[in-house]
Structure 1
């Protein structure tokens, strides 16, 4: 959704009577004249970058980490108000980065440059987490596998269904999204899951889907679907190792819960 008063296009005076009452770093978003950045913004950016480089991500709060990203997207404005606005809208850093382009576009001040940079950051985070589990035995990298699933799925606003395909040594050979759905449902086709396992010569697999509500408790539909997948795989001599439901901060394992 496009806004006529985008952050990078907003025409406001650099100083007014209300702005004089707040710290320069907290000043409202302002479109700056061409030329040099005002010293208060330039110095703030330099201090923030230095603090990040010396202390890492743990040395700065979420809104300042967002500022560092927004510096790249919006080079000529005070972006602190926009960083705070994003956190107010979505709740935390992860939810900002994983928000859909449509919802990001609804936030005042967000244009295509910001959306693109946030989606690049999301893709990079998922790519890095995925690299820690692909072509590795899931037993020895189980924690990394859970981290990857949470990175990829925990903050999505709709359900997503993935299948992790394993070879005879339980090495992860493929990670594929099988479907996307609504806030509380995603279509799953057991025959298609089994067919794809044969195509990949997989010996076992793990089902993974998320609950946008944040509660990983399985529904009766989740349990029924899992049983249908088990039946389709057993006919082919393929094992279902587990079905993971990813919540906002934790996950549920069907095998650990005695549901497999």
Structure 2
């Protein structure tokens, strides 16, 4: 039964004229255009926020994703920092819920795995840019200090990549004897030490320098070389070898 224009009711069927078309949300056309640009011209045709917006389509299927994508970029400053941000901070951004935050962290984990895969079966010392990219991706945005070691064989190929210690916002305890013991267990003949500065500034502290020298002095008599100690932060990285501290 339907109501007629005169206010009475009719039992007749609803006709096509009676149906009012439901307009599509305004963002549907925009999504189609963004997908088309990506398909036809590739990712280089999109800005960082647009690529992030495109990624969020599946996480946020029934709302405009341009606003959340721009808000993420404004909050964290760059696409790498969005990917590196902790999940709880991502959820503080308007429009980003648990599902979207978790998807962003999943994408970050996939990127890290890809960068790590690029290091396998390669001579690390001739793939230095990949080493820096990987260490920056996995550590630069951590909220607490981590001390990581890349253990290498006699061909300077990666044997193992291990986080040895996790500390506070400005300190990580490092135990040189335990570190050397682990190197011997893995039959490693060389190491690259890596840790992060959550402050963002990768400049080595006096404690960093002293600790590194202790590890070098402990490793040398056992035939284990410390090739470098890299400090990563949001503002870049520092190499002890480059700074002539090793």
Same fold (TM over 0.5): yes
> What per-residue deviation string (whole Å, max 9, x for no partner) do you get for residues 66-123 of structure 1?
1111101111111111112212221111111111112122223322211211111000
| Pairing partner for 1:177 from 140, 159, 163 | 163
Give the Cα–Cα distance (whole angstroms) in 2 for the partners of residues 151 and 112 of structure 1: 22
Q: CA RMSD in A?
A: 1.7
Give the Cα–Cα distance (whole angstroms) in 2 for the partners of residues 184 and 59 of structure 1: 40
With the length of structure 2 as denominator, give the TM-score of the two structures.
0.85
Give the Cα–Cα distance (whole angstroms) in 1 for the partners of residues 23 and 169 of structure 2: 44
* 1:124-163 pair list within 5 angstroms: 124-163=110-149
Is the counterpart of residue 51 in structure 1 residue 37 in structure 2?
yes
**Is this contact kept in 2: 1:67–1:80, CA < 8 A?**
yes
Judging changes above 3 Å, is the alpha-carbon distance between structure 1 residues 39 and 103 closer, same or farther for their aligned structure 2 residues? closer
Give the Cα–Cα distance (whole angstroms) in 2 for the partners of residues 235 and 114 of structure 1: 51
Is the counterpart of residue 251 in structure 1 residue 214 in structure 2?
no
With the length of structure 1 as denominator, give the TM-score of the two structures.
0.81
**Is this contact kept in 1: 2:84–2:137, CA < 8 A?**
no
**Is this contact kept in 2: 1:37–1:76, CA < 8 A?**
no
Is the counterpart of residue 40 in structure 1 residue 26 in structure 2?
yes
Is the counterpart of residue 62 in structure 1 residue 48 in structure 2?
yes
Residue 202 (structure 1) shift? 0.2
- Structure 1 stretches of 4+ moved >4 Å: none
**Secondary structure at 1:49's aligned position in 2?**
helix
**Is this contact kept in 2: 1:135–1:173, CA < 8 A?**
no
Judging changes above 3 Å, is the alpha-carbon distance between structure 1 residues 196 and 119 closer, same or farther for their aligned structure 2 residues? same
- Listed as ranges, the gaps of 5+ residues in structure 2 are 1-21
Judging changes above 3 Å, is the alpha-carbon distance between structure 1 residues 37 and 67 closer, same or farther for their aligned structure 2 residues? farther
**Secondary structure at 1:155's aligned position in 2?**
coil
Residue 232 (structure 1) shift? 2.3
Give the Cα–Cα distance (whole angstroms) in 2 for the partners of residues 77 and 200 of structure 1: 51
| Pairing partner for 1:71 from 57, 66, 88 | 57
- Listed as ranges, the gaps of 5+ residues in structure 1 are 1-35
